[in-house]
Structure 1
Amino acid sequence: MIKPITNWRGFVLLPLSLFVVSCSWMGNDFRDRGNDYLLAEPIKPIVVPSKYNANSLEELYVVPTLQTDDFDLTEAFETPRPEALATSNFEESVKIQKLGAKRWILVNSPPSEVWPRIRNFLAANQVAVADSDAVAGTIDSAWLQFKDSPEVRDRYRVYVEQGVQPDSTEIHIRHDAANVSNAVVASDWPALSINPEREAWMLDELAATLASEASTGSTSLLAQGIGGGPKISVKMLAGEPVLRMALSYERARATIAHALRQQGFATFDLAIDDGIFYVGYEKPVNPDEESWYTRWFGGASDAVIPTTPYSLAELLANLQVPDSPETRAIFPGVKAFGSGKKLTEVPGYLIVVVATEAQVDIRIRDGYGNRLNKREAKEKLSIIRRNLI
């Protein structure tokens, strides 16, 4: 007669204990070895016999020199917010940008992808390439002959540069022309196109081709560093965050003016000759954070349009900043500092565009001309940067 099992806990635990023991039998050791290095004992250094040559080991991956002008080592570290994804991460677009008489193509793909597509365009249209420099980002065509001008020879230089936004490309074109007898003689490229109409024709043809074809994602290894470094960066200058642009002063003012009408900014007033913008800012409504009620009926989450009772002239006449060489360089049009009355509760910010020989610096100050705290300044400059074109 089989006796019923009354001690069922022992029946269940027995196989489990056998399983644990069997794991150790099979050689599995689950002990944590994370601190075993603390038990390591020092050993004598290796001595190379004198009859052999001893070469010291070098770093395989050299650590680059620390650049401290991007941040202040004395301030508390904060994990930076991730950059907003560029449009190029989702869909490619090709646009023709214009500033005054200048026109160029903007492609939101990196130069290493655009470079081979330009070469394909020239080859498909039987335009011979006389010279190509991937490091400088230039492609020079051979001398061409248009049917309507047999006595003249024409050629083009294509400039491929890094765009203002990450993973974007700017394409500039310059046209040159010469008589048939002089076309074979090497000459320098002109500062401006000889024939703007011929430049515009090539620009439009290239833009239409790039827009009509889909990018295959292929890249040129020779063009990995094309167009130099980034044109836009946030630097620390004398302890103040500054948006630095490797652009002409004219273009910097134009792209800043565009950015200050986007993503929560509103331009109250400006002094374009002095490069000063008086703006307001209200954080734009995020549709993902709205409730179903406000999406249907509106309400508290509706966008607020900032306003001000002051003009820019009033603010500049009553700046509350000390007179110094730095202040005079930032506000060159102001005759006196700190002598005016202090205005009451000035809203908004002053965006100041200052050009130097090599670049253009953008600062953001409060309505009295004083510095913002570093975190707020970096935050607002980052928003402006995302809207540059």
Structure 2
Amino acid sequence: MLKSFVNRGLYAAPALALLLSGCGFGGGHYTDRNFEYYHADMTAPLELPATRDNTQYQDMMPVPNAAQAFVAPKGKFQVPRPDTPGGEQPAAGGAVRDQEANGQRWLIVPGTPSQVWPRLVDFAQDSSDVKALTPAQGQIETNDFTIAVRQGQRPGTTEVYCLTKNTTNQQCVTDLQSTLSSSSDQ
């Protein structure tokens, strides 16, 4: 009986090894989706509701248009470095833009955080009692709201948030946009 069990095991072992050889445990197997991407259908661009001002919105990560068709030269080819997002630097006197996503609203302000910071401090001091200024963390705390600042996604821009208890303070964002827009016009 033991001999019969061992003989069956000898036949089963190679079959089991062959079966398990196709199973990858965490490495080596990737699904090639190039065919799917190549044959994917284009979809219509996202359309905003009629209540939105389309001039206030643009692509967050635009893909630049190609100047000409690409043909790889024979022999060695080096991939060129991509342009910076958006192509060129924004003008210093550009418009303050309002952004909204996932129930949160913030401003995109032209200039680096260090250039925008003094204007935000002035706004906070004019609007409320300032409790704490922490430029290293990019925060201004007042009795009514907290202004948070961070580097924008595009070069030469700053993202400015106005929060009350970690939610957007709509009135503060609106007042801040008005103040920053008028100060950038001067």
TM-score scaled by length of structure 1: 0.26
Q: CA deviation at 1:86?
A: 2.6
Tell me the distance in 2 between the aligned counterparts of 1:95 and 1:120.
20
In the TM superposition, 1:271-350 aligns within 5 A as none
- Please, which runs of 5 or more residues in structure 2 have no aligned partner? 1-75
Q: CA deviation at 1:88?
A: 3.0
Q: Is the 8 A contact 1:88 1:168 kept in 2?
A: no
Residue 136 of structure 2 aligns to a residue whose secondary structure is coil
Q: Which residue of the partner structure matches residue 208 of structure 1?
A: 178
Q: Which residue of the partner structure matches residue 236 of structure 1?
A: none
> What letter is aligned with 2:150?
E
Structure of higher CA gyration radius: 1
> What letter is aligned with 2:180?
L
Q: Do structure 1's residue 119 and structure 2's residue 89 form an aligned pair?
A: no
Tell me the distance in 2 between the aligned counterparts of 1:82 and 1:99.
26
Tell me the distance in 1 between the aligned counterparts of 2:162 and 2:178.
14
Q: CA deviation at 1:212?
A: 1.3
Q: Is the 8 A contact 2:90 2:156 kept in 1?
A: no
Tell me the distance in 2 between the aligned counterparts of 1:164 and 1:213.
22
> Relative to structure 1, is the Cα distance of residues 133 and 110 closer, same or farther in structure 2, using a 3 angstrom cutoff?
same
Q: Which residue of the partner structure matches residue 51 of structure 2?
A: none
Q: Do structure 1's residue 162 and structure 2's residue 151 form an aligned pair?
A: yes
Q: Deviations over 1:86-114 (max 9, x none)?
A: 3335x411111011311111112211111
Q: Which protein is richer in helix relative to its size?
A: 2
Tell me the distance in 2 between the aligned counterparts of 1:132 and 1:80.
40
Q: Is the 8 A contact 2:124 2:140 kept in 1?
A: no
Q: Is the 8 A contact 1:103 1:172 kept in 2?
A: yes
Residue 145 of structure 2 aligns to a residue whose secondary structure is strand
Tell me the distance in 2 between the aligned counterparts of 1:202 and 1:79.
44
Q: Is the 8 A contact 2:146 2:164 kept in 1?
A: yes
Q: CA deviation at 1:78?
A: 6.5
Q: Is the 8 A contact 1:111 1:162 kept in 2?
A: yes
Tell me the distance in 2 between the aligned counterparts of 1:78 and 1:111.
33
> What letter is aligned with 2:94?
E
Matched length: 109
Q: CA deviation at 1:214?
A: 2.3
- Please, which runs of 5 or more residues in structure 1 have no aligned partner? 1-74, 144-154, 177-191, 217-389
- The percent of aligned pairs where both chains have the same amino acid is 23
Q: CA deviation at 1:80?
A: 3.9
